[in-house]
Amino acid sequence: MAERKVCLSGSGLTKIYGFGRTRTVAVDHVDFNFYEGEVISIVGESGSGKTTLAKMLLGLTSTTEGEIYFQGQRRDISTQRKKLEYWKNIQAIFQDPFSSYNIFNKIDAVLLDCINMRGGHGFPRAKKVEMMTEACSFVNLKFEELTNKYPFELSGGQMQRLMIARIFLLMPKILIADEPTSMIDACSRATILDMLMGLRDEIGMTIIFITHDIGLAYYVSDSVYIMEKGKFVEYGTADEVILNPKEPYTKRLINDVPKIYEEWDLSTV
């Protein structure tokens, strides 16, 4: 195996919401090294702190304690300019496509923002349209049909594909996908996942894939981190963790995945 380069790491990363009786430790002193070009899954039940960790990694919420290192350097996002620079490298797809879009903006605006962010301000209109068309066709959407439409006129699956088109234009080094398929219909899920993986091959980015479905994690990832109540309780390669789980929590997560070839024991349901 070639030498693996760390692109994002954290030490003692902690997030505490509220104080007094409402104090919640959402993320509790986690340490990790995410390697370049890998798909890293973070698996945990809902409420285990996955989204909070993602927001901290994205710099969308402050950290209570701990440090984040980006490409070996301590991450510095103290000014708006530095944040912008950081966000050129790290992007996200959120869980709920229906709340991810500004309902007052048209689809063109969403994609144009991405082109502008990558320094395409001065491009002629035709070139921009060409780029948007390409991005849309990558996710099997027809730009001509979408222009002048609003995101909420699309289905959930289409909206999430548009999110991927966004990433296609932005070409970040790291993509954090926070349960990107959990809010959309089962038929669209496989398509979305295929497109994400296709995009990774296309631009060679690192994907941090957040899910509550350990089966899905096994299917897509190189490394797996298991998160329980804000802590990483187990991590390793997908094979290590899922074929050879050590923690009871991990075993429970694995057992929760329904297996088609097993007959359901209805008496325990």
Partner 1 sequence: MKHTLQQVFRSGKFIFGFSILVAILLIVIIYPLVIPDPPLAIIAQGTFFEPGIYVNVYDSIIAPKYTLNLEGAAAKRIASRLNSDDRLAMKEWLVAVGIPEDEIDIEDTALLLELWETHFDPKTQIAGMTNARRNYYIRLNASLEGLLATEAAIIAVKNPTTGALEEKSVVAQSDFVNANKVANVRLLPLGTDNFGRDVLTELIAAARVSLQIGFVAGIIATSIGLTLGLLAGYIGGIVDDIIMFFTNLFTVIPGLVLLILISFSIGQERRGATTIAIVIGLTSWYWTTRAVRAQVISLRNRDHVNLSKLSGHSIVHIILNDILPYIASYVVMAMILQISSAILAEAGLSILGLGPRTTEVPTLGLMMNWAMIYYAHTLGKWWAYIPVLVTIALITFSMNLMNTGLDQVFNPALRD
Ligand X SMILES: Nc1ncnc2c1ncn2[C@@H]1O[C@H](COP(=O)(O)OP(=O)(O)O)[C@@H](O)[C@H]1O
Sole binder of ligand X in the list 8, 13, 26, 114 (CB under 6 A):
26
Beta strands across the sheet bearing 65-70: 24-35, 6-17, 65-70, 73-74
Residue whose beta carbon is closest to ligand X: 51
Do 222 and 33 touch, CB atoms closer than 8 A? no
Residue 92 and residue 160 in contact, taking contact as beta carbons nearer than 8 Å: no
Chosen residue from 12, 24, 202, 259 binding ligand X by CB under 6 A: 24
Shorter beta-carbon distance to Mg ion: residue 92 or 107: 92
Task: In whole angstroms, give the CA distance from residue 64 to residue 27.
Answer: 9
Quick check: 181 and 159 in contact, CB under 8 A? no
Candidate list 51, 91, 206, 223; residue touching ligand X; CB under 6 A: 51
Q: Decide: is 46 part of the binding site for ligand X (CB under 6 A).
A: yes
Candidates 51, 158, 160, 223; binder of Mg ion (CB under 5 A) is: 51
Could you tell me if residue 119 is left (phi over 0), alpha (psi between -120 and 50 degrees) or otherwise beta? left
Shortest distance, position 232 Cβ to ligand X, whole Å: 13
Beta-carbon contacts of residue 121 (< 8 Å; ≥ 6 apart): none
Bridge partners of 67, per DSSP, are: 11
Q: Which two tokens stand for residue 172?
A: 């970040």
Question: Which position has the token pair 């502008």?
Answer: 116
CB-CB contact of 27 with 229 (8 Å): no
Residue 24 binds: one of ligand X, partner 1, Mg ion, none (C-beta under 5 to 8 A by kind):
ligand X
* Residue 223 contacts Mg ion per CB under 5 A: no
Interface residue list for partner 1 (CB under 8 A): 55, 58, 60, 80, 83-84, 87-88, 91-92, 94-96, 99-105, 110, 113-114, 116-117
For residue 228, what are the β-bridge partners?
231
18 binds, among Mg ion, ligand X, partner 1, none (CB under 5 to 8 A by kind): ligand X
Nearer to partner 1, 88 or 189 (CB): 88
Which two three-digit tokens encode residue 68?
A: 């984040």
Stretch that binds ligand X, among 45-53, 133-141, 239-247, 255-263 (CB under 6 A): 45-53
Q: How far is CA 169 from CA 14, 86, 227, 252, 269, in A?
A: 32, 16, 31, 39, 46
Does 52 bind ligand X (CB under 6 A)? Our answer is: yes
**Which is nearer to Mg ion, 146 or 220 (by Cβ)?**
220
Q: Binding to ligand X by residue 60, rule CB under 6 A?
A: no
- What are the Cα distances from residue 149, in Å, to 106, 166, 220? 6, 16, 33
96 binds, among ligand X, Mg ion, partner 1, none (CB under 5 to 8 A by kind): partner 1
Which of partner 1, ligand X, Mg ion, none binds 161 (CB below 5-8 Å, type-dependent)? none
Shortest Å distance, C-beta 266 to Mg ion: 31
Q: Six-digit token pair at 61?
A: 């919420």
Residues that bind Mg ion (CB under 5 A): 51
Residues that bind ligand X (CB under 6 A): 17-18, 24, 26, 44, 46-52
